[in-house]
């Protein structure tokens, strides 16, 4: 049994139980009025004498059916309510008015249900009142008494007249015979007959029976007329109730269903629209994926071209010995770069650059800068002069462009002389850190290559070195790393990590530093390219 | 009425200008590789405002983190304000433990020759 039929059956059962009260009450009242006992025979007798009981008996069926219909309506209402609630959640703004109207209709339905329950009770009560009004039980009982009197008339014993007189007196004391003159006449005749006779032997019993039969026909004719009136009245009432039901359905329920159906249709339309938009989004995503794929391919190609354009150099360790180089581009290709050269057996140059831009744009600019660095390096300039020369050449090269400040680069230039254990450093917004037991910072100047505004002139430091010292330079992507907790690395932490990870082995230094950086980032993405390069001063 | 020049994001600062109070505020983070796109309109606005009203301006810089390119742009803005006549003041806000940001302020102040009012989170000097 589904939940649907359960619900309907519950309503039907309730209606039937409620309806069963009517015949029970009717029987109870009638039996009580007529001083009868509860027995199937008496109930049968009452039904035989009053066909209105059959109509009253139909109350459980009728009310059961009516409540079943209400149950169906209610079930539908609950389902539609659930649907509307879903709609309200999904389309709250659009269906606010509909929801408001629906609340009003819910109130109406409640009132209508209440009206039917009360109405049914009133109609049932009316049945009983009308039954009592038009069905004169005294008259019926009197009729039965007359029947029994006629029965005595057929008794030929000597006690029969006396028994009839006794019965006459009993009946006279029980009933107001003046209210029923036709019956009183019959009884008076029988009584007079009993007074005159010592026995009823010789009485024309057949004539008496014929008389009784005529009285019987007359009585039932009137009785049936009364019952006919009651039946017609009940029929009219039932018709009125059915009319009210139909009217209520069309006036109250039908518009409500239409409203819900409209909401469902609109919801379906909205879903279709959402589905359509989802499909369009999927198509756009597919297109974006394809574009992304092409971009990655182009980046890979650009990376390859950049490597081809670079002048071949010996690997870092072959020139500097113990060294580490961490290169973490933001987008495959980086605007950061390192450039190095071996001026002589003991004198080497290391440059770390950080060009504006990321990806292909950044790497193109860095390639341009590296080209100029290649041209300047043979001049054997000191680091500060190197930076000024690079600035001049870039400005000269890009002088035809507006917005020169858009192609700037920060560099740190170190010239290292192993034999003299000395280094010369100059930086444009790129510091040099000497990591020994602490981090000694050689501060760069606020100078951007390719920029015209607010430039400090580069300054050259001469640094005495010791075996085991590490010379470290980094782009600002390192100190500006930001993790998932929105914490910035900062210079202090950056230098602490350089100290903490320091090792005699360049490879080990790099691995430890990368691990610490990854640990700090906790999977957060970078906002900038990051390059760190370190050179160990040999024994 | 206060004007919002930049709403601010993970990489861009929030920039507001209140002409009634003659107050410019730059807050948040600045990591754009092309910060000129956001700071150039600020430069233009300040230039026009001061020349039209002859009023002094207060600039509050309260950046928790910024890259070198943004630092250069701040330097340019400070330069423009410094070149204007009137009672112009630049307030440089920094975390008391953030020495780097304070140094940036000092460098800009030194490079532009404009005295800054340094305001730390815990104390003012």
Pairing of β B116-120 and β B89-94? parallel
DSSP run (H or E) holding A339: strand A336-342
Closest residue in A to B105 (Cα) is A446
- The beta-strand segments (E) located in A287-335 are 323-328
What's the pLDDT score for residue A394? 92
Domain CATH number, residue B91: 3.30.750.24
What's the pLDDT score for residue A351? 97
Is there a contact between B10 and A403 if contact means CB atoms under 8 Å apart?
no
Q: What is the mean pLDDT of residues A151-178?
A: 83
Instruction: Indicate the number of domains in chain B.
Output: 1
Closest approach of A527 to chain B, Cα-based (Å): 7
Q: What is the mean pLDDT of residues A247-256?
A: 66
Interface confidence (ipTM) of the complex: 0.79
The verdict on residue B125 lying in a domain is: no
3-state helix, strand, coil in chain B (%, to 5): 40, 30, 30
What's the pLDDT score for residue A1? 44
What's the pLDDT score for residue B124? 41
C-beta of residue A402 within 8 angstroms of C-beta of residue A439: no
What's the pLDDT score for residue B123? 43
- Return the closest-CA partner of residue A369 out of A343, A405, A342, A336: A336
The verdict on residue B101 lying in a domain is: yes
What's the pLDDT score for residue A131? 60
Asked if A479 has any chain B CB less than 8 Å from its own CB, the reply is yes
Closest approach of A454 to chain B, Cα-based (Å): 6
Closest approach of B27 to chain A, Cα-based (Å): 15
Residue A355 pairs with which residues in a beta bridge? A409
Asked if A439 has any chain B CB less than 8 Å from its own CB, the reply is no
- List the strands of the sheet with A470-474, edge to edge: A323-328, A530-536, A470-474, A432-435, A439-442
Please report residues of A whose CB lies closer than 8 A to that of B94.
none
Is there a contact between A454 and B36 if contact means CB atoms under 8 Å apart?
no
Closest approach of A91 to chain B, Cα-based (Å): 31
Closest approach of A524 to chain B, Cα-based (Å): 13
Residue A441 CA: distances (Å) to CA of A257, A437, A510: 80, 13, 20
Secondary structure class of A479 (helix, strand, coil):
helix
Is there a contact between A454 and B112 if contact means CB atoms under 8 Å apart?
yes
Domains, chain A: 3-135+236-255 (no CATH), 138-224 (no CATH), 315-536 (3.60.40.10)
C-beta of residue A220 within 8 angstroms of C-beta of residue A40: no
Asked if B69 has any chain A CB less than 8 Å from its own CB, the reply is yes
Q: Which residues span the domain enclosing B107? A: 3-120
Of A403, A480, A490, the CB nearest to B31: A480
What's the pLDDT score for residue B125? 42
- Return the closest-CA partner of residue B92 out of B83, A461, B112, B84: B112
What's the pLDDT score for residue A100? 62
C-beta of residue A335 within 8 angstroms of C-beta of residue A355: yes
Q: How far apart are CA B89 and CA B114, in angstroms?
A: 9
Is there a contact between B107 and A446 if contact means CB atoms under 8 Å apart?
yes
Is there a contact between A527 and B11 if contact means CB atoms under 8 Å apart?
yes
- List, as one string, the DSSP characters of A65-77: HHHHHHHHHHHHH
pLDDT at B52 over 60: yes
- Return the closest-CA partner of residue A193 out of A159, A158, A214, A165: A165
- The beta-strand segments (E) located in A460-529 are 461-464, 470-474
Please report residues of A whose CB lies closer than 8 A to that of B76.
453-454
């Amino acid at each position: 049994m589904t939940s649907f039929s359960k619900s309907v059956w519950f309503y039907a059962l309730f209606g039937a139980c409620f309806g069963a009260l009517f015949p029970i009450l009717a029987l109870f009242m009638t039996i009580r009025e007529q001083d009868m006992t509860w027995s199937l025979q008496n109930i049968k007798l009452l039904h035989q004498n009053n066909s209105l009981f059959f109509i009253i008996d139909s109350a459980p069926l009728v009310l059961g059916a009516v409540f079943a219909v209400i149950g169906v309506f209610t079930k539908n209402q609950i389902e539609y309510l659930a649907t509307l609630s879903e709609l309200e959640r999904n389309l709250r703004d659009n269906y606010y008015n509909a929801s408001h109207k629906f609340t009003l209709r819910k109130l109406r339905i409640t009132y209508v249900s209440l009206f039917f329950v009360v109405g049914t009770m009133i109609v049932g009560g009316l049945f009983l009142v009308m039954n009592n009004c038009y069905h004169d039980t005294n008259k019926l009982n009197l009729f039965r008494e007359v029947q029994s009197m006629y029965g005595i008339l057929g008794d030929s014993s000597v006690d029969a007249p006396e028994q009839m007189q006794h019965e006459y007196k009993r009946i006279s004391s029980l009933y107001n015979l003046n209210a029923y003159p036709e019956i009183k006449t019959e009884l008076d005749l029988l009584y007079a007959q009993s007074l005159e006779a010592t026995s009823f032997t010789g009485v024309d019993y057949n004539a008496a029976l014929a008389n009784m039969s005529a009285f019987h026909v007359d009585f039932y004719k009137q009785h049936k007329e009364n019952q006919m009136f009651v039946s017609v009245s009940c029929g009219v009432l039932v018709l009125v109730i059915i009319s009210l039901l139909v009217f209520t359905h069309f006036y109250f329920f039908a518009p409500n269903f239409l409203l819900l159906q409209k909401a469902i249709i609109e919801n379906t339309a909205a879903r279709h629209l959402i589905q359509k938009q989802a499909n369009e989004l999927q198509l756009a995503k597919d297109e974006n994926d394809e574009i992304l794929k092409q971009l990655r391919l182009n980046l890979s190609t650009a990376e390859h071209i950049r490597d081809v354009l670079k002048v071949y150099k010996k690997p870092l360790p072959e020139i500097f010995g113990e060294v580490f180089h961490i290169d973490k581009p933001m987008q495959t290709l980086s605007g950061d770069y390192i450039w190095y050269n071996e001026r002589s057996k003991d004198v080497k140059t290391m440059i770390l650059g950080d060009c504006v831009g990321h990806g292909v744009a950044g790497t193109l600019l860095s390639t341009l800068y590296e080209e100029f660095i290649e041209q300047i390096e043979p001049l054997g300039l000191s680091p500060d002069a190197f930076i000024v020369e690079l600035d001049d050449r870039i400005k000269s090269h890009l002088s035809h462009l507006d917005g020169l400040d858009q192609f700037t680069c920060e560099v740190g230039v170190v010239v290292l002389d192993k034999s003299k254990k000395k280094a010369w450093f100059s930086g444009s917004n790129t510091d040099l850190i000497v990591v020994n037991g602490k981090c000694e910072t050689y501060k760069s100047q606020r100078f951007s290559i390719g920029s015209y505004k607010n430039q400090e002139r580069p300054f050259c430091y001469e640094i005495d070195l010791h075996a085991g010292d590490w010379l470290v330079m980094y782009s600002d992507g390192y100190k500006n790393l930001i993790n998932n907790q929105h914490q910035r690395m900062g210079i202090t932490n950056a230098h602490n990590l350089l100290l903490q990870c320091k090792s005699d082995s360049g490879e080990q230094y790099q691995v430890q530093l990368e691990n610490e950086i990854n640990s700090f980032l906790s999977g957060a993405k970078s906002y900038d390219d990051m390059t760190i390069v370190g050179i160990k001063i040999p024994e | 009425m206060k004007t919002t020049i930049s709403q601010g994001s993970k990489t861009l600062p929030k920039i507001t200008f209140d002409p009634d109070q003659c107050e410019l505020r730059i807050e948040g983070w600045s990591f754009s590789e092309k910060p000129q796109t956001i700071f150039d309109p600020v430069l233009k606005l300040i230039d026009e405002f001061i020349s039209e009203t002859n009023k002094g301006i207060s600039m509050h810089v309260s950046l928790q983190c910024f890259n070198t390119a943004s630092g250069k742009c701040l330097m340019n803005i400070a330069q423009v304000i410094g070149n204007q006549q009137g009672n112009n003041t630049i307030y440089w806000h920094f975390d008391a433990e953030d020495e780097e940001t304070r140094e940036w302020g000092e460098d800009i102040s030194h490079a532009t020759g404009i005295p800054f009012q340094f305001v730390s989170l815990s104390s003012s000097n």
